Structure 1
Amino acid sequence: MATVEHCLCCFEALAAYHERRKPMSLSEIEKSWAEYINTIDDDGDEADNKEEAAPVASKTPQIPALRRLAEASASSSSSSSASLSTNSSAGSASSSSNTTLQSGISTPATSVSASPAPAQVHESPLFVTWNVVRRSSDDDDDDDDDEDDDVHLRGCIGTFEAQPLSSGLPSYALTSALQDTRFPPISRAELNPSLQVAVTLLTDFEPAADAMDWELGRHGLRISFVYRGRRYGATYLPDVAPEQGWTKEETVLSLMRKAGWLGDKSRWREVELRVVRYQGKKEKLMYEEYKAWRDWVDGKTAE
């Protein structure tokens, strides 16, 4: 499962790229985040140790979502500040080879299998998704649900090859932000409160018996097929179909279209599909939440 720290790592990689500085490593971020959440009490006002943390905490914007993130981090990683995990938004890809594709997937030559993510994950197949989120006017500040928000995909690239998270997260954060050919590169000006990053770590790859052998909201789907001598392939992350309100059949057909198939949609079942289902829970983070933590880090450095 993905963590807030994974999302921070992605934002840190993109911000450092635009600011032409060296980014903090994932291990440094994990240690720093553990210290940071200790400066936020249950009400998100001040640190428990006010004498030591008050000068820094006073500089920290009290964003309601930060309290949620702090509580989530405390409950999920209290046994280890190095716990790793993930969460993400929409993602799709298509291909005819074993290279990184236009739609953002690096596909291995052989089928992928993975075990359920343990408490600590050091490497994993992963996707990094960037979104622009316009909050609805009646949103509750503490609500982390994007259902009523205006969400636009800004980039999504990932890989089914297991990656060391320490290097894979920053690498794919930049690749999805700057090299998704469906969109222009994310500029420095776009590092603003509307930018969101989501990380998804993929697990539990298994062959599906057929195109309908999977569950909406639980499984991501990866298909490959040959049609008229041409190879096709594409994937959707587990949350894509529920977010779009698709049925299973609509999801599979959309996935075939995403792969580039232009056949008669009424005859899609005649195409012999190879289907792999997988799981993966995402974590997401808004830029303002990253910036609050980063300002705290800079404040500590300046002391």
Structure 2
Amino acid sequence: MATVEHCLCCFEALVAYHERRKPMSLSEIEKSWAEYINTIDDDDDDDDDDKEAPVSSKAPQIPALRRLAAATLPSSSTSSSTSLATSISTSSTSSSNTTLQSGISTPATSIASSASPAPPTPVYESPLFVTWNVVVQDSDDDDDVSLRGCIGTFEAQPLSSGLPSYALTSALQDTRFHPIGRAELPTLQVAVTLLTDFEPAADAMDWELGKHGLRISFVYRGRRYGATYLPDVAPEQGWTKEETVVSLMRKAGWEGNKSRWREVELRVVRYQGKKEKLGFEEYIAWRDWVDGMRGE
């Protein structure tokens, strides 16, 4: 599945584009993030030992980011971080294909009920989608999001290059929207979805809401159509399966009578994919920490 580091990589690519600098690589981000969340772990340990102890100035204080970090705490320490300068940090105040390593159970491990679960198998290449949203806080202090750009590929991509590439493509080349400008960065949230388990569906209803994404293709009056929805789209919109399929056909450009959609011969591929999302505030807190470790 997607990770926090994948989201950081997307934000880093977009921010670096606007700052006209070279972004940190995915491997650099992964190393710095591991050290960063160890800082959070160390700070929590200090709080347990001494409730009056001052909070480290280098430990992230954003609750959402601390929750993200707590979900990915490593079992061992890692190498030091790498940083590049960022100018946005001084002006902003705004804003996880996992395959669990099952292995073969042995007498020694099968009886150890307190053993830690096997870590996720690292993913280096995958089909992916990058989604940009604008976060709007409503009157009830709840965050609402609106789509700002979403582009991806069903062809497996090396994540080290695919993530930054599609982060920029989604932000700058989604023809439904104007390119994301630098002033919009503090309002953004990024979501990364790595796609897995592609399989042909028996028919347009052969899939599960909240589990599968859909990719359809069909020919209507001599013209070819195709479109996709990621697994989270239908639940977020509150659609039924039929409403999802009809909406997807509309998205592809079909203008037929929606009551007769079943007369269209659809080719349907279902797939899975869990996303991770991150807001600009969380990104910039990590980025400030990286710069602080370099004394910048």
* Global fold match (TM > 0.5): yes
1:157 aligns with 2:151: yes
Q: Deviations over 1:112-151 (max 9, x none)?
A: xx99686210000000000001134444xxxxxxxx5321
Q: Is the 8 A contact 1:42 1:67 kept in 2?
A: no
1:263 aligns with 2:287: no
1:272 paired residue among 233, 254, 265: 265
* Aligned equivalents of 1:61, 1:211: Cα separation in 2: 46
Distance of aligned partners of 1:167 and 1:45 in 2 relative to their CA distance in 1, 3 Å threshold: same
* Aligned equivalents of 2:166, 2:255: Cα separation in 1: 30
Alignment partner, residue 38 of structure 2 = 38
* Aligned equivalents of 1:58, 1:224: Cα separation in 2: 53
Q: Is the 8 A contact 1:177 1:185 kept in 2?
A: yes
Alignment partner, residue 246 of structure 1 = 239
* Aligned equivalents of 2:175, 2:45: Cα separation in 1: 43
Cα offset, 1:235, TM superposition: 0.2
Q: Is the 8 A contact 2:40 2:59 kept in 1?
A: no
Extract unaligned runs of 5+ from structure 2.
49-53, 80-96, 101-119
Q: Is the 8 A contact 2:34 2:77 kept in 1?
A: no
* Aligned equivalents of 2:294, 2:253: Cα separation in 1: 50
Cα offset, 1:73, TM superposition: 1.3
SS in 2 for 1:233: strand
Distance of aligned partners of 1:115 and 1:13 in 2 relative to their CA distance in 1, 3 Å threshold: closer
* Aligned equivalents of 2:270, 2:157: Cα separation in 1: 19
Cα offset, 1:19, TM superposition: 0.5
Cα offset, 1:284, TM superposition: 0.1
Q: Is the 8 A contact 1:217 1:241 kept in 2?
A: yes
Extract unaligned runs of 5+ from structure 1.
49-53, 83-113, 140-147
Q: Is the 8 A contact 2:190 2:277 kept in 1?
A: yes
Distance of aligned partners of 1:254 and 1:184 in 2 relative to their CA distance in 1, 3 Å threshold: same
Distance of aligned partners of 1:47 and 1:206 in 2 relative to their CA distance in 1, 3 Å threshold: farther
Q: Is the 8 A contact 2:128 2:152 kept in 1?
A: yes
Distance of aligned partners of 1:183 and 1:44 in 2 relative to their CA distance in 1, 3 Å threshold: farther
Alignment partner, residue 7 of structure 1 = 7
Identity within the alignment, %? 85
The list of structure 1 runs, each at least 4 consecutive aligned residues, that deviate by more than 3 angstroms after superposition, is 41-48, 77-82, 114-118, 136-139
For 1:58-77, what aligned pairs fall within 5 Å after superposition?
58-74=57-73
1:131 paired residue among 99, 117, 133: 133
TM-score (norm 2): 0.80
* Aligned equivalents of 1:187, 1:211: Cα separation in 2: 39
* Aligned equivalents of 1:80, 1:201: Cα separation in 2: 27
Distance of aligned partners of 1:133 and 1:302 in 2 relative to their CA distance in 1, 3 Å threshold: same
Cα offset, 1:44, TM superposition: 6.2
Which amino acid letter does the alignment assign opposite residue 71 of structure 1? A
For 1:93-132, what aligned pairs fall within 5 Å after superposition?
119-132=121-134
SS in 1 for 2:71: helix
Instruction: Count how many residue pairs are aligned between Structure 1 and Structure 2.
Output: 257
